[in-house]
Chain A
Amino acid sequence: AQRVTQPEKLLSVFKGAPVELKCNYSYSGSPELFWYVQYSRQRLQLLLRHISRESIKGFTADLNKGETSFHLKKPFAQEEDSAMYYCALSGRGSGNTGKLIFGQGTTLQVKP
């Protein structure tokens, strides 16, 4: 079954603390993994994707095929990082329709 699991509904940390939002996936094939973020009263937007391997707003995520995980990390959380974060996957290769499978989402709350 194709599935994305984000085990934490809510993650609350203090400003300056490290952050790790967990994402595990199940997919028969070669997936592409994404993290999307939804700030309060803003639209859902792409944060990063695994194939670009870049760091956005200090966040990084490494695809671990052995553990089928794509955890999102940031060494020092900022208050402006407070938002809802979604992990998502899409198939790759021929026949790919581009449709995304989303996890349930994790609300990150960064306290001052």
Chain B
Amino acid sequence: DGGITQSPKYLFRKEGQNVTLSCEQNLNHDAMYWYRQDPGQGLRLIYYSQIVNDFQKGDIAEGYSVSREKKESFPLTVTSAQKNPTAFYLCASREQINQPQHFGDGTRLSIL
């Protein structure tokens, strides 16, 4: 199921640096989501977008930013304001209300 592609698979960030994680989907899904996965904490919602040019903050949006200029793309930027960025980041998309979410393979972000 190559419908959602996340890149890169591994990413390293230096202190004070912003980094951008890519998420692309070819499923023609309207809604897209970014989650952060930490051991023992499950997945927590960072940002989501239900339609192009619109997005909302999730539960842990501080230190992150997103854009949704195209339906198929929902990049996540981890800014220098995010003090604990080391985590596994998962992107998901959903066709419409009441349909389940489909997930990408994830990006593992670490601090240099």
Taking Cβ atoms with an 8 Å cutoff, the residues of A that contact B are 4, 6, 9, 32, 34, 36, 43-46, 49, 51, 86, 88, 92, 96-105
B97 with A96: CB separation less than 8 A: yes
A36, A99, A100, most chain B CB atoms within 10 A: A99
Q: Smallest Cβ distance from B38 to chain A, in angstroms?
A: 10
Count, A-B residue pairs, CB within 8 A: 61
Q: Please, how many angstroms separate the alpha-carbon atoms of A54 and B56 in the complex?
A: 33
Q: In the complex, which residue of chain A has the Cβ closest to the Cβ of B101?
A: A100
Q: Please, how many angstroms separate the alpha-carbon atoms of A21 and B101 in the complex?
A: 21
A102 with B97: CB separation less than 8 A: no
Chain B hits for A32, CB < 8 A: 98
Q: Please, how many angstroms separate the alpha-carbon atoms of A94 and B25 in the complex?
A: 26
Chain A hits for B33, CB < 8 A: 98-100
Chain B hits for A92, CB < 8 A: 98
Main secondary structure of the interface of A (DSSP, over half): loop
Chain A hits for B40, CB < 8 A: 9, 104-105
B58 with A34: CB separation less than 8 A: no
Please pick, from B48, B100, B106, the residue contacting A99 in the complex, using a CB distance under 8 A.
B48
Q: In the complex, which residue of chain A has the Cβ closest to the Cβ of B56?
A: A97
Chain B hits for A102, CB < 8 A: 35, 42-44
B103 with A98: CB separation less than 8 A: no
Given contacts A43-B103, A43-B106, A92-B98, contact A100 B50 (CB under 8 A): no
A104 with B104: CB separation less than 8 A: no
Please pick, from B45, B56, B103, B106, the residue contacting A45 in the complex, using a CB distance under 8 A.
B103
Q: Please, how many angstroms separate the alpha-carbon atoms of A49 and B100 in the complex?
A: 8
A44 with B103: CB separation less than 8 A: yes
